[in-house]
Structure 1
Amino acid sequence: MDDEPLKDWAERRDAKIGRLRAVPVVSGDTPGDGPRGAHLRPDAPRVIERWNGYAWEPHAFTANLAETKAILYPTATATATSEPPPAGSKPKPLGSGTGKHRKPPAPR
């Protein structure tokens, strides 16, 4: 078995420090009521946890999925709220070609 040098392992571990994750706050009273896909309960509160190199520690608390995404993906929300294209711009027309996604030419 090939052993990885300790220096390489430490660099990989340190690169993950500061990573964030969201964990939904749900009650565990009913079987099957644990954490699920984020899209299933978008209004459920969530805890944002931060990796410190050894364990996940609480970092923030959000009220819903929209707030959570704003914290976890700040660049995605910035581009989603950017200005729409100018009113005079036209979409690019399809180029010529015979790819699978193209309709065959109509018979004459």
Structure 2
Amino acid sequence: MDDEPLSDWAERRDAKIGRLRAVPLVPGESLKGSHLNPEAPRAIQRWNGYTWEPYGFASDLAETRRILYPEAFTPPAAVSAPQPLRSGTGRHRKPR
């Protein structure tokens, strides 16, 4: 059997440290898809390399997504106004 070196495995494990996940706080149910019970509160957990530890709390799915994916909710950078077409002789230009 071709085993990977322990250092490669440790690097892969350490790369996942700090990853967040949300666990719905619904009685009697196991972990399921995030789209189920969108109004249910969720516990935010953080991976510390060995186990999932409590990190935070979210009141519903929308707040959970803002915590887990902050880059999706940041406003885009200001976009400059489009530049008018310059005169030229490119092959896509009509001859005058």
Instruction: Please report the TM-score for the alignment, with normalisation by the length of structure 1.
Output: 0.66
* Residue in structure 2 matched with residue 46 of structure 1 by the alignment: 42
* Residue in structure 2 matched with residue 23 of structure 1 by the alignment: 23
CA distance in 2, matches of 1:54, 1:72: 20
CA distance in 2, matches of 1:38, 1:7: 34
1:24 alignment partner AA: P
Deviation at 1:36, TM superposition (A): 2.5
* Residue in structure 1 matched with residue 5 of structure 2 by the alignment: 5
* Count, aligned residues: 79
Whether the 8 Å contact between 1:26 and 1:35 is mirrored in structure 2 is no
* Residue in structure 2 matched with residue 71 of structure 1 by the alignment: 67
Structural RMSD (CA): 1.9
- Equivalent position SS for 2:50: coil
Identity of aligned residues (%): 65
What are the superposed Cα offsets for residues 6-65 of structure 1, whole Å, 9 maximum, x if unpaired? 11111000000000001100101xxxx333222221110000100000000010011000
Instruction: Please report the TM-score for the alignment, with normalisation by the length of structure 2.
Output: 0.74
CA distance in 1, matches of 2:30, 2:9: 33
